[in-house]
Chains A and B, each alone.
Chain A
């Protein structure tokens, strides 16, 4: 049987008047359903480009992306995208914000609305429906953004450094919450990050990328004892720091080669 997501020999080049920069060079991998995978690498390794290609926001110069055995051409309803910052619309209330995807996709029904509101309650934002985003803290806003993404019930979530703009404590809490929510709803997730600890704590597998051009250099399987644990618990486990050291050296060697 074919994997849930297959990325096959994808390359992407950005053209400007003076240069042609290869952001991704011949990247291939596959991801199984329900898996949590992190893309780890220095900045400029084309992680965000890759995510945009999987979300079909941009078309790769070469290669194909297959989702559940089908080649994807246009925006796919089963892919949800979360950005670095919340990008909640400041002129909409939280409720209007989390219904945004439902409205755009034309699936705004009593049932989907109720589900979105249940998600909002489940994530600890009960009572904020009629607030505006600027009345909420950074962590709350990012949680509302998660609800907005989940409201349309995507099968796969693309997370583009969603915790990087938050303070450390909020970040740890939100990692925990997102991880639990995704496991509860059995979502497949792709996380782009440059934070080694975050990648180890949250993922089942880590893909290590090198920069300029972006290449997939190595894949690490997180040991099962860590995979079972929630991000916060995983950070306390003795294997965690071992793995951290190991990945640190790997990343370092990638950068010093340059």
Chain B
């Protein structure tokens, strides 16, 4: 009996592995096929190579930009702005949510304004931010922040309020203060929600920063896109896009890894 169980288990593991390989295989097939098709289409003039470029020209440009060091500068500037905007947005959002939780009356008063602020397209604030903070790094970072701060506030505040009141009851029977309730139950119980807003904010901060760079910067991937567009160098635009995609994915994976570490015991 035990022996047959072992065999069955081995078979099960093998079938799992097979399934995984199958999925990974098709993922790679799509990747390769996409770039191969793009290259062929471009070479045979099925698509306009001036507009859509081709993987090989992008590759050549990539190597060239790495060599002269400009790509590293542009990427690191944008990445820095995005990470900072992302962290600030999440931090401010969570603090604001804590404030709303702490003063229930304030939250009632603030409610319609939050709705308006949330519904408003934050990138429209760009020109104002630039005038207020100057056409530099800080206004771009501010864009990355404001775009995520309100939605973070709303989502985190909702999760604060939805913490099972019985946890608070347990704490209150020990005579816990409001701060202790927050520290011991409300905040830790909301960690999963805060982390999941991090995932959303990764994408949002990229939008804010790239738009910010469109508007003012002299550096960064957003600047590369707008510059490429102005001089009609779409190879440059596509190169920037691919790099943004890669960096955003890496950032997302880092957040996913943090999530796994932080909430392993739920």
Q: Measuring CB to CB, which residues of chain A are less than 8 angstroms from any residue of chain B?
A: 55, 57, 74-75, 77, 79-81, 83, 85, 87, 89-91, 100-101, 104-105, 132, 134, 148, 152
| Other A-B pairs, 13, CB within 8 Å; known A75-B173, A105-B174 | A55-B173, A57-B173, A81-B169, A83-B166, A87-B164, A87-B170, A89-B167, A89-B184, A90-B266, A91-B188, A100-B174, A101-B174, A104-B176
Given contacts A89-B184, A91-B265, whether A74 and B173 have CB atoms under 8 Å apart is no
Interface string of B181-223 (1 = CB under 8 A from A): 0001100110100000000000000000000000000000000
- Residues on B lying within 8 angstroms of A by beta carbon are 164, 166-167, 169-176, 180, 184-185, 188-189, 191, 263, 265-266
Check if B184 sits within 8 Å of A100, measured CB to CB. Answer: yes
Which of B172, B173, B180, B184 counts the most A-chain CB atoms under 10 A from its CB? B173
How far is it, in angstroms, between the C-alpha of A148 and the C-alpha of B169 when the chains are bound? 14
Q: How far is the CB of A78 from chain B (nearest CB, A)?
A: 11
A selection of 27 A-B contacts at a CB cut-off of 8 Å is: A75-B172, A75-B173, A75-B175, A77-B175, A81-B170, A83-B170, A85-B166, A87-B164, A87-B166, A87-B167, A87-B169, A89-B167, A89-B184, A90-B266, A91-B263, A100-B170, A100-B171, A100-B184, A101-B174, A104-B175, A104-B176, A104-B180, A104-B184, A105-B175, A134-B266, A148-B170, A152-B174
From A83, A100, A105, A134, give the contact of B169 (CB < 8 A).
Answer: A83
Residues on the A chain within 8 Å of B265, using CB: 90-91, 132, 134
Min Cβ gap A92→B in Å is 8
- Once bound together, how far apart are the Cα atoms of A91 and B266, in whole Å? 7
Decide: A89 near B185, CB < 8 A? Known: A104-B180, A134-B265: yes
Residues of chain B contacted by A75 (CB below 8 angstroms): 172-175
Q: How far is the CA of A126 from the CA of B124 in the complex (A)?
A: 61
A79–B173 touching, CB < 8 Å: yes
Chain A CB within 10 A, most for which of B164, B170, B171, B265: B170
Contact A81 B166 (CB under 8 A): no
Cβ A57 vs Cβ B169 within 8 A: yes
Bound Cα distance A201, B189 (Å):
38
Instruction: Give Cα A75 to B180, complex, Å.
Output: 15
Q: How far is the CB of B7 from chain A (nearest CB, A)?
A: 30
On chain A, the residues within 8 Å of B263 by CB distance are 91
Contact between B171 and A104, CB atoms less than 8 A apart: yes
Among A81, A89, A132, the residue within 8 A (CB) of B173 is A81
Given the interface pairs A77-B175, A132-B265, the reply to whether A89 lies near B188 with Cβ below 8 Å is: yes
A80 near B175 (CB under 8 angstroms)? no
- The CB with the most chain B CB atoms within 10 A, among A55, A79, A104, A152, is that of A104
A85 / chain B contacts, CB cutoff of 8 Å? 166
- The listed residue with most A CB atoms (<10 A of its CB), out of B169, B175, B189, B191, is B175
**In the complex, how many angstroms separate the beta carbon of A42 from the nearest chain B beta carbon?**
23
* Cβ contacts under 8 Å, B191 to chain A: 91
Question: A100 contacts which chain B residues (CB < 8 A)?
Answer: 170-171, 174, 184
Cα–Cα distance between A4 and B176 once the two chains are bound (Å): 25
- Whole-angstrom CA separation of A90 from B264 in the bound complex: 11
A152 to B176, CA, bound (A): 13
